[in-house]
Amino acid sequence: MTLSDDLGRNITYLRVSVTDRCNLQCFYCSSHPQTPEQATQDCAETCRFLPQEELLTDAEILRVVETFAKLGVQKIRLTGGEPLLRPNLSGIVQSISQIPSITDISLTTNGIFLLEQARGLKAAGIRRLNISLDTLQPERYRTITGHDAFQRVWNGILHCLELSFSPVKLNVVMIKGVNDDELIDLAALTLKWPVQVRFIEFMPIGRYTSWNASRHLSCEEMKHRIQQRLGPLTAVAQGRNAGPAEVYALANALGNIGFISPISRHFCATCNRVRLTADGHIRLCLFSDNELDLKAAMRNGISDEELTKLLQDTIRRKPAGLDKSIEGGTETGKTPSCQRRMSTIGG
């Protein structure tokens, strides 16, 4: 069985947010107010995490993944919030890795608990890791995330390389005026370490987003600056199932550099993914709040057959692409179409 939308895009990739809780408060991602004006709004609405009962249980997550797997989904990424805060994460990974048609289980994490959990996660079935690291400066790390944890995360990254996770990707959200002065230092990491440093354009997500066009730095501009300072970037061929990153390498590098351009050169036409939010909604497009409440359906007793049909019918309506108001990343003052917090979507 396959899962495709009305535009003929095949859905083979499900991203699962296993919790909305996070142990960092990155200013551009967390649910906390982002500007003084927003700080006057009701904090009960903006700062809270979901009550436990609003999160999917392990069994509910597994049921959704199994249903998607029967419909042809092969790739699962676990994310959050911070997924390493989810109790029994290894158990969830182990159960998913026993589904024969799932060929790839990966994880996106802030890395704070990798020293403690990486070995267990590898044994459970995770091979590919994305670790978020927007800066190499400990003081700036504290400013961006609210926590003095740079060294801990860096040690976690080294630990994962020792454990032979492959690939280890370092997610860097590039924000003009915040960390773009570190573009070269971050790219140069690939000369010394076998990691993929992947630069991600800053996206307008959530009602309290701190995104605006003046903070947007396009991947083209990043590439240009890197080549000026570090020499030519050579394209690295990607497999058929590769994601939306364009990947390049510097001469004599141990690692490579990925660029993800959701704003300046979006990849909607080839999008193969949907998302399961921490509170059990299927999100058809990162930028669209048009969702299906699967948790309610499951808790109201939907049968396996009905669940399969509901997913097939819903996926057909996957939006064609992102809202024109943000395309190109150059227009100021537009309200993003996406109201939901990134911490419940998972990136």
| Residue 201, burial from CB neighbour count under 10 angstroms (0-12, 13-18, 19+) | buried
Nearest distance from C-beta of residue 285 to ligand SAM, angstroms: 15
Decide if 215 contacts 177 (C-beta within 8 A). Answer: yes
Closer residue to ligand SAM, CB minimum distance, 3 or 222:
222
Q: Is residue 144 at the binding interface for ligand SAM, with CB under 6 A as the rule?
A: no
Cα separation, 279 vs 282, whole angstroms: 9
Nearest distance from C-beta of residue 224 to ligand SAM, angstroms: 20
Decide if 245 contacts 260 (C-beta within 8 A). Answer: yes
Contact letters (x/-) for ligand SAM, 160-179, by CB under 6 A?
-----------x-x------
Show contacts with ligand SAM in window 5-64 (CB under 6 A).
Answer: 22, 28-29
Decide if 213 contacts 329 (C-beta within 8 A). Answer: yes
Contact letters (x/-) for ligand SAM, 297-326, by CB under 6 A?
------------------------------
Contact letters (x/-) for ligand SAM, 181-210, by CB under 6 A?
-------------------x-xx-x-----
Nearest distance from C-beta of residue 87 to ligand SAM, angstroms: 16
Closer residue to ligand SAM, CB minimum distance, 29 or 245:
29
CA angle (285 as vertex; 284, 291 as ends), nearest 5 = 45
Show contacts with ligand SAM in window 209-228 (CB under 6 A).
Answer: none
Q: What number of chain residues touch ligand SAM (CB under 6 A)?
A: 20
Cα separation, 174 vs 334, whole angstroms: 20
User: Both tokens of residue 179?
Assistant: 């960390």
Interface residues with ligand SAM (CB under 6 A)? 22, 28-29, 79-80, 82, 108-110, 132, 171, 173, 200, 202-203, 205, 342-343, 346-347
